[in-house]
Amino acid sequence: MQRIRAATAAVALVSEDPSLVDQVVSTVCDETTLAAVHTSFADLLASFATVSPDVVVLDDVSERDAAQEIRQLRRRQPSLHIVYVRVIDEKRSIALLHGGADDAIITGSPTLVARLQAATRRARTVNAGSRIAVGDIVFDREARRVWCAGREVALTPHEYGIVDCLFWHAPKPVGVDTLADFVWGDQSSTNKRTLVQVYVSYVRKKLAKSAKVAIRFARGAGYEFTPVEPEPTKPVVMGRAKRSAP
């Protein structure tokens, strides 16, 4: 399967207001942009252990230390695009921008939708330069992140190495020795073939939700991404209706 540049983005929203959640999600979400909703800033920070968003949208209605929030987010991800919404007035908006926010949208602003869409569009454009996709599996070598069917997948270092090698060589198959050398280098192993088979099986399980791609082994060639063939539709057999007894 051919590799393509992947223009995708992930948005994280922090708010307890269902109406704002609905508005933001309906504004930014489509086949290229996903949104995760958190009810507190602490929940957002905890999520960074497994998922790193490209854009964070923060509801400014509650009394929080925005400067501290921005510092904590920047320490975790310097390139993160930070947007505050429902800002009380222009003075507060200016203070947030001086404090390091990328945007601060005042309550009732008619530009809310357009500015959120611009933020996610920018993130997708930036990501298209560093992310590649095979089917619905997206790979970011620089950030060491992998997505499958729109969801980020947590991989161990060796599992990540397997995916990295497959993407590096795609669309060509990768031999067992090449995979072993790429992932484990000069580390001695009694059976490289078994080691590769075990870790490829781990990766297959974690990418099993893909509707478009599977990792297959071609004898004499190696492992490669191949298209998933849709299951054949079973014909519907119509039975004759029984006549009722006279």
What's the pLDDT tens digit per position in 187-211? 766 688 899 999 999 999 999 999 8
CA pair distance 155, 140, nearest whole angstrom? 13
Contact 123, 129 (CB under 8 A): no
Q: Do 187 and 173 share a domain, yes or no?
A: yes
Note whether 113 and 138 are same-domain residues: no
Name the more confident of 61 and 200.
200
Residue 90 in this model has a pLDDT that exceeds 90: yes
> What percentage of the chain exceeds 90 in pLDDT?
63
Confidence check: pLDDT of 244 > 70: no
For residue 195, being part of any structural domain is answered with yes
- Is 52 inside a domain boundary? yes
Q: Which one of 81, 100, 128 terminates a domain?
A: 128
**Least reliable range by pLDDT among 17-31, 79-93, 138-152, 203-217:** 138-152
Question: What is the CATH number for 217?
Answer: 1.10.10.10
Q: Is the pLDDT of residue 216 over 90?
A: yes
Domain around 165 = 131-227
Tracing tokens 């991404």 back to the chain, one arrives at 225
For residue 121, what pLDDT is reported?
94
Write down the mean pLDDT value for the chain: 88
The sign of the torsion formed by the CA atoms of 61, 116, 133, 135 equals positive
- Same structural domain, 62 and 155: no
Cβ neighbours of residue 182 under 8 Å, at least 6 residues apart? Answer: 161, 164, 165, 168, 174
In the predicted structure, residue 48 carries a pLDDT above the cut 70: yes
pLDDT of residue 236: 54
Please report, for the domain that includes residue 100, its CATH number.
Answer: 3.40.50.2300
Please tell me which residue, 228 or 108, carries the higher pLDDT value.
108
pLDDT over 50 (residue 154): yes
Q: Assess whether pLDDT exceeds 90 at residue 31.
A: no
What residues pair up with 106 in beta bridges, in sequence order? Answer: 87
Same domain, 108 and 144: no
Q: How far apart are CA 110 and CA 172, in angstroms?
A: 50
Q: What is the pLDDT of residue 239?
A: 54
145 and 112 in one domain? no
In the predicted model, is pLDDT for residue 103 greater than 80? yes
Beta carbons within 8 Å of 127's beta carbon, 6+ residues apart: 6, 7, 8, 9, 54, 140
> For every residue of the chain, which 3-state class applies, written as one string?
CCCEECCCEEEEEECCCHHHHHHHHHHHCECCEEEEEECCHHHHHHHCCCCCCCEEEEECCCCCCHHHHHHHHHHHCCCCEEEEEEECCHHHHHHHHHCCCCEEEECCCCCHHHHHHHHHHHHHHHHHCCEEEECCEEEECCCCEEEECCEEECCCHHHHHHHHHHHHHCCCCECHHHHHHHHHCCCCCCCHHHHHHHHHHHHHHHCCCCCCEEEEEECCCEEEEEECCCCCCCCCCCCCCCCCCC
pLDDT band at 214 (very low <50, low <70, confident <90, very high): very high
Tokens representing 125 are 């454009």
Give the bridge partners for 11, in sequence order.
35, 55
